[in-house]
Every structure is written in C-alpha cells, then in structure tokens.
Chains A and B, each alone.
Chain A
C-alpha cells in the first residue's frame, strides 16, 4: 500500500472520528450512510477539508455515495483526483 494512501486514510479517519462520540467508532470500512453518521454537514465539511488540505476540486457529479459512503471510498476518490492534473 502506498504511503500516500496510508497518510490519507489516517487523516480522514481522524477527521471523521474527532467529530464526537457518535463518530469515534468509525473505521475505514464503516458505512457512513447506513450508520447515519453522514449527514449534509459532515459531507460539506469533508468536501471543504479535501479541497483545502489537498487542493482537490470536487465537482458536482462526484458528490455521490460511491465516493463518500466509506472513508476508504473517499480516500480512493482522492487518490484518483490527485493523480489528475489540477486545473
């Protein structure tokens, strides 16, 4: 596993877990939708964090469950985006 992936996994897991006791159990594979952890506020905060910390622009058609259902999904999405040249 690349060190890039590991770093992103650690950062995003910390980001989600640190939102409060309800989120403390979240792991890479936790289904954030099924568990009700992912609400519009967390989604907005995640997008803001990704855009700020990694300079990745998130487009409207990318804001969907396949990229944000689990932390792992978001990491994979982020790695794919980072590999592309940014406008």
Chain B
C-alpha cells in the first residue's frame, strides 16, 4: 500500500482557468463526472468554507484533478483499485474523494480517530492500493512505505486532458465500513448509481438550493455525512466547516456567524443543543431547516427543536448505510400529528413491513422494515452470505429495524431485530466490546448491555468468571480504554457470579438490562429532564 499525504498551500491563488482534464461528455452515470460538471458551472462559488478561508469549486476541481493524475499515473494503476481516505472533514477530503472516483478508483473512507485494531481489519479486508491522508492526520500503519507528498492546487501549466472515467452505473464507487450483525466490520458496497440515486431522492425531499450554506458536524466518512457532502456539492452549494463544534453553544454561534442555512446532526447532538446550547434564544435569520437521522430522537425533543427554530423547518429522517444514506422523511408539518414517526419513503424508495417469509404485512402489524430502490447497496464486500441475508433476490433490503406502517402510510420504528445499537450515530454491536475482552482475558465472560445515560446510549459491561481466578476489573477497563474508541468504552463495569440464562441456555440480556439502572448510578433521563431547562 502506498501512502499519499496531501498538503495545502495556503498561499495558492486560484488560477483563471480550470485545470484541463474534464473533456468527457456530460454524464449522469459517474459521480466524479457529475462533480466536474457542477464545478465547471460554479468555478468561483465557495464549495467549502471555514471562518478563515474559502475553497472555491475551481480549487476543489483542480485539487481533485491533481489527485486523479497522481492515482492514474501510478504504474500499477487499475480501474476498481481501492483508495483509503484518512482525512477529517476538509477541502482535502472533498478533493480526494472526487479525484479518486475520476481516477476510476473505489473510495474507502476511514474515520480519522479509528482504533488501530479496527483500521487494520478494514485495511486487510479492503486491500487499498493507496492510503491518502495529511501530514497532521497521518497515523502510520505497520509496514507502510515511505509517503509521497502532493501539494494541492499549486498553479500548474496546462496539462493534457484526460479521458473521461470509465466506471459508471453499477460499478463500485465506495466501500463504507460499518458494524455487521456479528460485530465484525462489513464493507457496504455503494455504486455510482446508488450514490447518485440517493442524492437525487434527498434533493427532491429537502429544500437544498445552490446558494445554501450547510454547517457540517457529521463526518463525511459516515453515511449521513457523506449524503450531506454529495447533495450539497451536486447542488453547487457550500459546506461550512468550523472548529470547536463540540460545544452546543458554539454550534449555535457558528450557525449565526457563518450564516448557515441548514444543519444536520444525530439525536445526541440535538439533546445537547437543547440542554446546553440555548437554541432559540438568538435569532438565526439565515437558517431554513435542520435534519436529524442516525438514530431515534425522542418525540418531545423533536417537537421542542421544531418550536425553537421556527420559522425554519425540522425534518426527522431515517436511513442506513446499506441504503446509501436515507430512506424516509417526515414532512415538518406532520411532526406533531405523527408522533414518533420516521415519515414516508423518500422519492425513488419503496418501504414495506414484512414477515419472516418476506410477505408484506397489513397496516399496524409490526415486522421487518424492508426497503427497495436504486439506493440499495450492491451488497457486502466479499461476503455473499451476509449479502444474501440482507438483500433478497427481489431487491428488498432487510433493514434489521422492526417497524409498523399506519393506515396513511407513515412508518414507525420498534427497535432493532438484532443486538446492534446506535451510539452517536455509530452502529455498535455488543460483540465488538465482548470480543475484545474475551480475547484478552479468556478466563472472563463478558456481556455488554446498552444503557440510557442522559439522552445518550452507552454500554455497561457485565463480567463473570469462567474459573476460580478473580476478575481484575482495572486491567479490563485499561484494555478497553486502550483499544476501543470512547463511544464504545463501557461507562460501568459490573462483576457478577454468573449470567442469567434464558430457557434456551443463552445469556439472558433482557434480565441483565433490568440490573442496569440500579448499578449505573440510576440517573436515567427523566422525560422532562431537558425541557425544564427551556429558556
């Protein structure tokens, strides 16, 4: 695997002419080409803006062209080669993403802070030819080659134009690694058509305009963040990036100061915005709408957000990586009447509630929520068995979420059919925590149980001895802290003599869940915990 480090020269002035290379026909079948077409029409418009600088579509297109030329000129270059991106939300990410697609490569985005064990697994599974990072974000994998450096958007003399990319439609464009039903990483295979179809559906649902300025806190390497990137770039709009957005009050300040027209986040962030962000106290005249997805936001909180951001609209949305990003949306004017609903399928998507034999159920019956459309993934990377479990031959994706549909066609969730949980929008399987402990401490059995803490979901780890040796909780805690990212780290460790079992002699997770409130401080969120702090 080669390493490429991108360096941005802040002194670079955009040149008058776009770099040569986009001589191909206008095409709606390759996402990279679509980006080039949009960029050509929006050369001087900001594509990415921070408080300090502005990166025009011209800048991004030229940087993408540099990445493309670097990748396609490698002697071993083949179409379909994977290119891993370990980049934070930045103009470099956007350039590397489209540059890789234009070079007929497949993008594998990695979270910048991904734990070493997980990254190794993903790199082994996806076998990228190149890893692109920046000198600041680069965290050397084992046995890597000496990095090359590319200075982005330097003034370049006119170069030969390149032929249009060959990959399109059903060809793989992106591998999005997520947690599978057994806790191991699974690569969701998204084609050019998947990405274009979902972006198109979202653009029909949300009022995204070319003069929009979206404040982005969601990572681009995440399905939801990726959909924000695609929809705004394809609209010729502007992505706003800012630092310090950990603070709810800073988010509100950034929306105000940077004149953001939209904002999207996972439920936990909205919980914080209500509790600590003083949302609604100062007017946000530029703001037109906000969206939430990536987990369930309590209905009363959704209504409170909607009330506080008026006259801007609040969209509750639903989706998953296997469907590129988004599947359903609740029209803002229906928020009050359809309490707790995820809405209706977005344009181009079909949703149905099915029984175990994949027969559609009548209204109000609870079953597996299934989805069909051009946004449904090609399958899981090199895992035909898991693909067959998830996507039927008829093209219906089994989302793993239980749901019902009301008589009017609005859908409502009833939790997961599997043990997967969402923590801050990340899909986590308890086995990811249990497996780590049991591998390092074979004499200990571990069961991770999700628990509500405030408005967040986190894990309590139950430990039981397999033999007479005592359990060293501190050692286990230290191992989890060393090897797991913070959102997967248990917030409490509890040793018990033995696990309760079900009649089928499996660990009774429901019985363990009942023990959680008494041991984790018992500070479960009260329904009005947050609303009592209304301004």
Which residues of A are interface residues toward B (Cβ below 8 A)?
Answer: 18-22, 33-34, 36, 38-45, 48, 52, 60-61, 63-65, 68
- Contacting residue for B243 out of A18, A33, A60, A61, CB 8 A: A33
A30 to chain B, nearest CB (A): 15
Complex partner residue of B278 from A18, A20, A40, A61, CB under 8 angstroms: A61
> When A33-B244, A63-B247, A65-B250 are in contact, do A48 and B276 touch as well, CB less than 8 Å?
no
Write the nearest CB–CB distance from B279 to chain A, whole angstroms: 10
Q: Which of B447-495 contact A (CB under 8 A)?
A: 453-454, 456, 477-478, 481-487, 489, 491
Quick check: A41 and B487 within 8 Å, CB to CB? yes
| Docked CA distance A33–B246 (Å) | 8
Residues in B with CB closer than 8 Å to A48 are 453-454
B276: chain A residues at CB < 8 Å are: 60, 63
Chain B residue contacts of A18, Cβ below 8 A: 477-478, 481
Q: A44 to chain B: which residues have CB within 8 Å?
A: 268, 272, 454, 456
Q: How far is the CA of A37 from the CA of B327 in the complex (A)?
A: 33
B interface bracket (residues with beta carbon within 8 Å of A): 35 or more
Q: Which residue of B lies closest to A64 (CB)?
A: B249
Q: Which residues of chain A have C-beta atoms less than 8 A from B453's C-beta?
A: 48
Query: Which B positions have Cβ atoms within 8 angstroms of A?
Result: 88, 113, 115-116, 243-250, 268-269, 272, 275-278, 424, 453-454, 456, 477-478, 481-487, 489, 491, 521, 523, 533
A-B contact pairs, 10 of them (CB 8 A): A18-B477, A19-B481, A20-B481, A20-B483, A22-B113, A33-B244, A42-B486, A44-B272, A52-B523, A61-B278
- The residues of A that contact B523 with a CB separation of less than 8 Å are 52
For the complex, give the distance between the alpha carbons of A34 and B454 in Å. Answer: 27
CB distance from B46 to the nearest CB of A (A): 23
The CA of A33 and the CA of B454, in the complex, are separated in Å by 23
Closest to A49 in B: B491
**Cα A60 to Cα B277 with chains together (Å):** 7
B482 CB contacts on chain A under 8 angstroms: 20-21
Chain A: minimal CB distance from B334 (Å): 29
A21 to B116, CA, bound (A): 10
State whether A68 and B247 are in contact (beta carbons under 8 Å apart), knowing that A40-B268, A45-B486 are contacts in the complex.
yes
A63 with B249: CB separation less than 8 A:
yes
Between B269, B478, B481, the greatest number of chain A beta carbons within 10 A of the residue's beta carbon is seen for B481
List of 8 A-B pairs having minimum Cβ-Cβ separation, nearest first: A63-B276, A60-B276, A18-B481, A40-B246, A38-B246, A43-B246, A39-B246, A19-B486
Closest Cβ of chain B: how far from A18's Cβ, in Å? Answer: 5
Shortest beta-carbon distance, A22 to chain B, in Å?
6
State the CA gap A79–B140 with chains docked (Å). Answer: 40
